[in-house]
Amino acid sequence: MADNNTSSNSLSENPSPNGNSASENESEVSIDVLARKVHESLSMARRNKFWETQPVGQFKDLGDTSLPEGPIESPTPLSDVKQEPFNLPNLYEWITCDMDSEEMCTEVYNLLSNNYVEDDDNMFRFNYSKEFLLWALCPPGYYRSWHIGVRVKSSKKLVAFITGVPARIRVRDTVVNMAEINFLCVHKKLRSKRLAPVMIKEVTRRVHLENIWQAAYTAGVVLPTPISTCQYWHRSLNPKKLIDVGFSRLGPRMTMSRTIKLYKLPDQTATPGFRKMEPHDVPAVTRLLKNYLKQFLVAPDFDENDVEHLLLTRENVVDSYLVESPETHEITDFCSFYTLPSSILGNQNYSTLKAAYSYYNVSTKTPLLQLMNDALIVAKQKDYDVFNALDVMQNESFLKELKFGPGDGKLHYYLYNYRINHVLRPSELGLVLL
């Protein structure tokens, strides 16, 4: 159901957002670049061979409006679902990962922090904290059996991982019980062993055992067939560090001091009644969010339990703020971001890039531009280096104005066993997957 093991290209900023670097790049084509392109095309062919056997939108069907929207394959009787795990190569064995165990959580953290998503230039690698993993993988109603690991039989070393969590996702007017598939990771030394397809089949089997037949996932690579393709944008909060570590570059005719001045933010937020979300705000935030998400063609169907788990502030995991009218005490606006640092590889001065990722934002009385500027201010106060946002929902309306720059890659959204007849614009998508 997922292929998240390849870079989503969202870890660094595009040094040439105006796209003027084509002529420079043409002169840089080398044997290495050609070799990489050949490798990528071969691995894409292998990936597609697998995905062509799966109930997903196929490239050949693009634009065929005669195909019905909705499930591609009907559910089978649960008694017909394979009861035994799929076979792994002899040296390996399946385990179910108990994320409540400190030892297991540490093993998963170590695997991901050393082997998960890197940028194309191998300068940055996602470094999900253990607290983040617990938050992301244990939402209300989660299934421990969907947290799947692969060990080496002899050494018991954890070498691969894939997860699912349950979610209710509305597609147009239909709320569908789905699995959100994430954290597909195979140890770098085992990438040639073709473990990923069998892991995808195994998580699919376990999801089916719970009578769930659809899934949502994202990947930085093109598979059959994205329902939408989104762009990451990056807003510098600590421009000197970002330039020093190679995340972004000094613009043409720009000095460091002018760059620092360009990205400087006010010391205090501007919106009266802007404050941190508290537990007693859960019902009001749920109502605000449910009403807002109605306008998107694909969006989560959150209830109060979801909002309490996903959006109440957890230190260094997720931060949520709202606007409470000083006059009426009505909750009118909401913004949130989650914390996903990246390890900085091979830099003597810095080891971690602290990044905030825009999550769900709702503007009814406060202009979205002002609300998000306040979010940038509190992120800066909390020592984040960069604030990232996808161009989903209404985010496009503030990106350029608030000095975000486009990233150097795309994030593709997919649905498993569910067909949508046209590719969605990012602004039609109301879903952020962690």
Residue 345, domain member (yes or no): yes
CB-based contacts of 426: which residues, under 8 Å, 6+ apart?
228, 229, 230, 231, 390, 391, 392, 395, 396
Count of domains forming the chain: 2
Range with lowest mean pLDDT among 56-70, 103-117, 134-148, 229-243 = 56-70
CA atoms of 311 and 309, how far apart (whole Å): 6
CA atoms of 47 and 45, how far apart (whole Å): 5
Residues 195 and 252 in one domain: no
pLDDT at 70: 96
| 195-222 average pLDDT score | 96
Residue 23, domain member (yes or no): no
- Element holding 234 (H helix, E strand): strand 228-236
Residue 433, domain member (yes or no): no
Residues 105 and 47 in one domain: yes
Expressed as residue numbers, the domain containing 324 is 230-428
Among 217, 243, 263, residue at a domain's last position: 217
Helices 304-311 and 282-293 sit at what angle, rounded to 10 degrees?
100
pLDDT tens-digit readout, 345-357 = 999 999 999 999 9
Residues 201 and 308 in one domain: no
Strand pairing report for 355-358 and 386-390? parallel
**Catalytic choice (311, 312, 322, 434):** 434
| 410-415 average pLDDT score | 96
pLDDT tens-digit readout, 286-326 = 999 999 999 999 999 999 999 999 999 999 999 999 999 99
Among 162, 195, 217, residue at a domain's last position: 217
Residues 268 and 164 in one domain: no
Strand pairing report for 405-416 and 147-152? unpaired
Please give the model's pTM, rounded to 2 decimal places: 0.91
The closest of 353, 316, 367 to 337, measured between CA atoms, is 316
CB-based contacts of 327: which residues, under 8 Å, 6+ apart?
none
Q: Is residue 24 predicted with pLDDT exceeding 60?
A: no
Residues 153 and 38 in one domain: yes
CA atoms of 393 and 335, how far apart (whole Å): 13
Instruction: Note if 434 is an active site residue.
Output: yes
